[in-house]
Amino acid sequence: MKKLDEAVRLMAEQGLGGLIVYSNGTVNILRASYLQYFAGFALMGPNNAAVVSPTGEVVLVVEPAWDARRAMRRSWIGDVRATNDFPEALRTVIQSLGIDGTVGLVGGSEMPHWVYEPLYKQVQVRPADDIIDTIARTKSAEELALARKVAAIADIGFEALHRFSRVGVREYELVAEMEYAMRCAGADDNFILMSSGSHNTALRNPTDRRLTPGDIVIGEITPVCQGQFIQLCRTVVIGEPNPVLVEKYDLLIRAWLAAVGRVKAHEPASVIASTIDGILSGAGYARYCQPPYMRTRGHGFGIGSVAPGATLDRETTSPLLENQVVVVHPNQYLPETGYLACGETYLVGASGAERLSRTETKLYVNEA
């Protein structure tokens, strides 16, 4: 198993006597699961860990005990230990594998104190998230195919947004249609923000508001499958848009295209924000290129990406690396139009960015 071989190699380089990849069972848009990536297993319980010895022996500890059968079917890790007492099970596995000295802990920010305290008393613990991040920078053909699959699901989510953005439809009904469409297409879950009105101030959760003629409907559509998130940001107008709205959306598209043109391996991630901000500032919107008028110009998605889930801004100097999954979106509040959504997810390449979604990035118009 390539992931295991790489983990053992990196452990040796760092002088570690073992590795623990922990998860509290959550996967969200801001923090993908290191353990789900490593074990290939979607976790359900509150405490789970893969324990790796320096010789490559690996054990998957699963809580609650009844979830072990599913883990045995889904994970490549053959040795699965079921438990309803996670700290004790973890202690026993560490001892049985002969692990001592300094142990690398991946996902330690998720570990509660009552789990960490007995572990700390048994071995010396050092953060080691970088080990899994390093492994994840080299994507397999299956992982690349997954990113493209989830991008296709995001396209389907937008198709539903476009189709059901009609007068009289409630916001939560619109989101329900998007959710249903993406679930049917294979999404494990979806993170959806939206807003509607003549002058939106931000993306938010849906309400019972009914869509009306002249509404600008904005959506941030983010399905997830097997731990991989992909995001699509789009704007739909109900009725003929006024010339100012068309002009300002064209400005965002110009900023988005310019930023995408800078996305390639070894460029600093800050070029995304600096390029977008530069174009908007040149158009007279410098004061709006900061919170609360915008939050971020993009972010990474998944283990091994640049700033996964975090803000990509002008201070994000980490380099973009080949096969990282990165969102580029100049989502922006403008005083003339309100908040507008524009942008999507890309795969970083050696000489440029591969567009993952297929729906055209433009201002969409529905009949009133």
pLDDT in tens, 130-167: 999 999 999 999 999 999 999 999 999 999 999 999 99
The answer to whether 295 and 288 have CB atoms below 8 angstroms apart is no
Per-residue pLDDT, 43: 87
Per-residue pLDDT, 310: 82
Report how far residue 231's alpha carbon sits from residue 220's, in angstroms, rounded to the nearest whole number: 7
What is the CATH architecture assignment of 141-366? Alpha-Beta Complex (3.90)
The answer to whether 36 and 62 have CB atoms below 8 angstroms apart is no
- pTM for the model stands at 0.92
Per-residue pLDDT, 7: 97
The hierarchical CATH code for the domain 2-136 is: 3.40.350.10
- Sequence spans of domains, the chain: 2-136, 141-366
Q: What is the pLDDT of residues 174-191, one digit of tens each?
A: 999 999 999 999 999 999
Q: Name 212's Cβ contacts closer than 8 Å, sequence gap at least 6.
A: 167, 238
Of all residues in the chain, the percent with pLDDT exceeding 70 is: 100
Q: What is the greatest pairwise CA distance in the chain?
A: 71
Pick the closest to residue 90 from 48, 129, 53 (CA basis).
48
Q: What is the pLDDT of residues 228-269, one digit of tens each?
A: 999 999 999 999 999 999 999 999 999 999 999 999 999 999
Cα angle: 349, vertex 355, 359; to 5 degrees: 180
Does the structure show a pLDDT above 80 at 1? no
Per-residue pLDDT, 286: 97
Both tokens assigned to 181: 């469409």
